[in-house]
Amino acid sequence: MRGILVAAVMVVAAHGAHAADMPEFGALRGAMVETPPGVVNWQGFYVGGQGGYGTSDMDFTNSTSNIASRMMALTTIENEYQVSQWPVLGKRSAQGSGYGGFVGYNWQWDDVILGLEANYMHGNFGGSDSGSMGRSFTTSDGYTNGVTYRASANMQVKDVGSVRARAGWAIGSFLPYAFGGIALGQADIIRSASISGTAVNANAAPGFQTINFAYNKTEQMNSHFIYGYSAGLGMDMMLYRGLFLRAEWEYQKFAAPINTAVSTVRGGVGYKF
């Protein structure tokens, strides 16, 4: 995850350095370099640091169904009553905080600002859920089954980042902007499923009239790569000669074994060279 973000930072930095070394071409570049009186010059390469607080919204509903389905494959109770699909888990939200940095490059046409940015935060955004459900039913083979399905899931997102394009409008020393791009992350994920019970059939052959069963499985993924999309709004405020403050909100939606969205508000400080 960090290697991907470092690569993204190098791409943005190289692009910014290339643009800075380009020769002047009169009208072709004058509008991007010469800003009118009273308009802050936002064009150029910038870096900064940030801290944030946010909420992780996680949908655990079907997070263990594939594990339970594999355990119960070809069994009568799964084929007829789909035990693996029982809704033992639900949705949860949790709060977390983090810190990180950003690097990017701005292009400016009078008040219009367009840019590319790589953004990163390290923190603890995640949650967990557990639950159980029991049912009694008779299957076509004549057995009366008492079945209990227990499940638990935990996901901790430790690193989140985005490679984004942004567009803003300079208003004096303020630069409100919107952005969208690719979200990247790294998470530790643990999922467990347990299905146990007793099947009774008085008419079965001796030795098979009462059958006790128990299936258990846990899957763990450490530093699992996750990805999705990112969007948000923010405001940069120029303080003095390239030093600026930042306030921002970002929403990141990730595709993962556990459906996850991380929404954060952030404050930061940066410097535009």
With a cut of 60, say whether residue 33 has pLDDT above it.
no
With a cut of 80, say whether residue 46 has pLDDT above it.
yes
Distance CA 139, CA 48 (A): 63
Average pLDDT over every residue of 96-118: 96
Closest CA to 273 of 18, 17, 6, 51: 17
CA angle at residue 149 from 139 to 192, to 5 degrees? 135
Distance CA 217, CA 146 (A): 20
Taking only the tens place, the pLDDT of each residue in 211-266 is 999 999 999 999 999 999 999 999 999 999 899 999 999 999 998 788 899 999 99
With a cut of 80, say whether residue 65 has pLDDT above it.
yes
| CATH at residue 109 | 2.40.160.20
With a cut of 70, say whether residue 34 has pLDDT above it.
no
Distance CA 128, CA 131 (A): 11
Taking only the tens place, the pLDDT of each residue in 68-85 is 999 999 999 999 999 999
pLDDT at 169: 96
Query: Strands, DSSP E only, in the chain?
Result: 44-59, 91-109, 112-138, 144-169, 174-200, 210-240, 243-255, 259-272
With a cut of 60, say whether residue 24 has pLDDT above it.
no
pLDDT at 40: 87
pLDDT at 187: 94
Q: Hey, is 63 helix, strand or coil?
A: coil
pLDDT at 90: 94
| CA distances to 38, 41, 45, 193 from 111, in Å | 10, 9, 17, 56
Counting every residue written for the chain, the total comes to 273
**For a pLDDT cut of 70, what percent of the chain falls above it?**
86
Tokens of 49: 């640091």
Tokens of 153: 């899931």
Range of the domain at 104: 2-272
Structurally, the chain folds into a number of domains equal to: 1
Taking only the tens place, the pLDDT of each residue in 187-197 is 999 999 999 99
